[in-house]
A and B are shown apart, each in its own frame.
Chain A
Amino acid sequence: MKLVTAVIKPHKWEDVREALEIFGVTGMTVSEVSGYGRQKGHTEVYRGAEYDIALVPKIRIEIVVDDDDSADIVGIIVKTAQTGRIGDGKVWVSPIETVIRVRTGDKDEAAL
């Protein structure tokens, strides 16, 4: 099992969700996060005072998937979230030791 984590542009979130749903992904955890990479923040001016807003809002998606699906899911996220401009985000995959469904106690693949 793998944990696919993606940090993407907020306006791409609906496209990514839809594409993953069509592929068959039935669940994920989504959060609004802030951060910066090469994109950096922006500047705002209030009564002549310039504020450097360092953090850029992003959406973080976390999906626990079967080993065989992880490459496809990463591919879908990258293809859908890509605009070609700085700030498109990152996707990474990490191994998962065990997964348990809280309702039933099912373990690992059965819990996905």
Chain B
Amino acid sequence: MDGYYAFMLVATALVLMMTVPALALFYGGMSRSKSVLNMMMMSYVAAAIVGILYVAVGWSMGWSGDGTFFADPTALIWLKDVPTDTYIFVMFQMTFAVITVALISGAVADRMKFSAWLLFVPLWALLCYFPMAHMVFSCTDDSLICGRIGAQDYAGGTAVHINAGVAALVLVLLLGKRMGWPRDQMRPHNLTLTMLGAGLLWFGWYGFNVGSIVFTGDTDEANMAQFFSETGRTFTTTTMATMAAILGWLLIEKLTHGKATSLGAASGIVAGLVAITPATGAVDIEGAVAIGFIAGAVCAWAVSLKYKLGYDDSLDVVGVHLVGGIIGTILIGVFSTSDGAGGIDGLLYGGGAGSLGDQALGVLVAVAYSGVVTAIIALAIKFTLGLRITEEDEAEGIDLTEHGESAYDLHTSMSGGGGKTGVLAASMAPSEGHQA
């Protein structure tokens, strides 16, 4: 199994890259220029805080033994008694905790106190993510979502995406809308960063999905055979779903707004990856294409819900991660095949509706748990430290007021002035034909 261990080293680094810098770039590009640094910083500090906290108690809460919601938090505190030759599995799971918390940050653009975020991050990881990871991933017999309900979730449709998506929704409801939303222009300030971030997320997601293999064999030979067949499946279904989701998103955009956009393609990538995350081991190629296409199309529509319902989920964490996560998790009940990792036939493959019911119940439990726990944490912060920066600071720009920085210095001779369209730049430098 040497190859597997080497692969896990790479997979773990890939998943960490999904947060730093991929998600930060993806979100940062969609932010306004006066808040891009704060947006990126929320991912970077989430990595720092959650990573250390995971090693302190997260692994123990997830993996030290039985428990409906979580295992003994102190049994393996600071990896006590965990041999170093299994540390890589701790690190791999740690990267999942990191990105799940960071995902939430997209919803709170422009307006959340940095100190409130620094407090929210460890509390949410401790009370919401670590338990959910136990319920889903460690899969002891009494663990709620995997063990008791029996819902399939290969790499985190519930624990990661639904969890983060619900948290984002609850947090923005308590945080309130940005000043001027939705009347004012808040268009993305740099879509090239977003395209780069989406591409890096796709690349890193191979670590996320393919690295999530759990061996079931009794012998090394059996596990090696499983490794080859299952990683081939997860790599391929991850790829197919993502590609189909790009097309699904662009199709809906073209039909409803007349143009296929780059932000639509970048968003389609993420929507497809989110939806295939729980299903990647369970479905075949047709199932993956269907799930990806459906997720791309539905999420392209779902991101407009916030305007109808009036919640300012700034960068669409709800529309992409909650909706995409639900789609992928539910559709396992339709498209899973018995030669997949779960060994269960879904509705379309003659397995009946039983799996569909389990999946739906898994979704409900994840939504309820995350909703309640996030609300408690966010309310506690709201009525003590406060969640929001002042109106003056928000108008000035959170980069400047919370971090004392600005992302871009595009000005030339005057600190306050500067070019806008850049058409003059070419003729300005060497030409002697005119004077300023």
| A→B interface (CB under 8 Å) | 10-11, 13-14, 17-18, 21, 26-30, 32, 34, 44-51, 53, 57, 59
Asked if A13 and B257 make an inter-chain contact with CB atoms under 8 angstroms apart, the answer reads: no
Specify which of B253, B433, B435 is in contact with A48 (CB 8 Å cutoff). B253
Specify which of A27, A34, A47, A53 is in contact with B303 (CB 8 Å cutoff). A47
How far is A51 from B256 in the complex, measured between Cα atoms in Å?
A: 15
B257's nearest neighbour on chain A, judged by CB, is A45
Specify which of A10, A48, A53, A57 is in contact with B257 (CB 8 Å cutoff). A48
B261's nearest neighbour on chain A, judged by CB, is A45
Which A residues are CB-close (under 8 A) to B420?
32, 34, 57
| B→A interface (CB under 8 Å) | 182, 185, 187-188, 253, 256-257, 259, 261, 263-264, 267, 300-301, 303-304, 307, 316, 319, 419-421, 423-424, 427, 433-436
Asked if B427 and A14 make an inter-chain contact with CB atoms under 8 angstroms apart, the answer reads: yes
Asked if A47 and B434 make an inter-chain contact with CB atoms under 8 angstroms apart, the answer reads: no
CB distance from A99 to the nearest CB of B (A): 14
Which A residues are CB-close (under 8 A) to B267?
47
Specify which of B303, B307, B423 is in contact with A59 (CB 8 Å cutoff). B423
Asked if B434 and A27 make an inter-chain contact with CB atoms under 8 angstroms apart, the answer reads: yes
Asked if A27 and B435 make an inter-chain contact with CB atoms under 8 angstroms apart, the answer reads: yes
CB distance from B188 to the nearest CB of A (A): 6
Which B residues are CB-close (under 8 A) to A34?
420
A52's nearest neighbour on chain B, judged by CB, is B185
Given A17-B427, A32-B424, A57-B420: A48 and B256 within 8 A (CB)? yes
Which A residues are CB-close (under 8 A) to B316?
47
CB distance from B338 to the nearest CB of A (A): 38
- Can you list the 8 inter-chain pairs with the closest CB atoms, starting with the nearest? A48-B304, A10-B423, A27-B435, A57-B421, A47-B303, A45-B257, A32-B420, A21-B433
How far is A11 from B424 in the complex, measured between Cα atoms in Å?
A: 10
Given A27-B435, A30-B434: A48 and B424 within 8 A (CB)? no
Given A17-B427, A32-B424, A57-B423: A48 and B434 within 8 A (CB)? no
Asked if B188 and A46 make an inter-chain contact with CB atoms under 8 angstroms apart, the answer reads: yes
Asked if B257 and A50 make an inter-chain contact with CB atoms under 8 angstroms apart, the answer reads: yes
Asked if A47 and B424 make an inter-chain contact with CB atoms under 8 angstroms apart, the answer reads: no
CB distance from A58 to the nearest CB of B (A): 9
Specify which of A26, A30, A46, A49 is in contact with B424 (CB 8 Å cutoff). A30
Asked if A10 and B421 make an inter-chain contact with CB atoms under 8 angstroms apart, the answer reads: yes
Given A17-B433, A27-B434, A30-B434: A46 and B423 within 8 A (CB)? no
